[in-house]
Amino acid sequence: MTFWENFERICALRKTSPSACVKKLGLSPSKVTYWHNGSLPKEEIIGQLAELLKVSKSDFFAEEEKPFAEATSDDEQDILDLFRKLDRKQKHEFMAMVYQYDREVQRGDSAQKIG
């Protein structure tokens, strides 16, 4: 698959369009036409597109279609970023709290603690 085919498919999966991505990055709308006609973006732009669409740079050059993870919300990304900053012991403690909270939700106990 070409860069364009992958880019177009990734955009569709993310419920956006190549034009919308170009606009969000502040690039000229003509970039869409160039890429559609076979030109490749600079590596820096590919990195920005990957970040925007929450995929890896290599996903734009995949030979075959592959499923992509669902895009994360801002809240999910914040949690992930915080989690990645923790050391191994802190990650273990954090996960223990998450599992405990999940058990409480399953039992219906969490509403009392939150409210």
Q: What is the CATH number of the domain that holds 26?
A: 1.10.260.40
Residue 115 pLDDT more than 60?
A: no
* CB within 8 Å of 19: residues ≥ 6 apart: 29, 32
In a domain, 66, yes or no: no
In a domain, 115, yes or no: no
Token duo for residue 16? 């956006």
Eight-class DSSP state of 29: T
- Domains held by the chain: number: 2
Q: How confident is the model at residue 2 (pLDDT cuts 50, 70, 90)?
A: very high
Residue 3 pLDDT more than 70?
A: yes
Chain centre distance of CA 107: 32
What is the domain range of residue 103? 74-109
Residue linked to tokens 């970039």: 31
> Mapping DSSP to helix (H, G, I), strand (E, B) and coil, where does residue 83 land?
helix
> For residues 65 and 59, is the Cβ–Cβ distance under 8 A?
no
Note whether 46 and 79 are same-domain residues: no
CA distance 78 to 59: 23
In a domain, 68, yes or no: no
What is the per-residue pLDDT across 58-99, written as a single tens digit (0 to 9) for each?
889 988 776 665 666 778 778 878 888 999 999 999 999 988
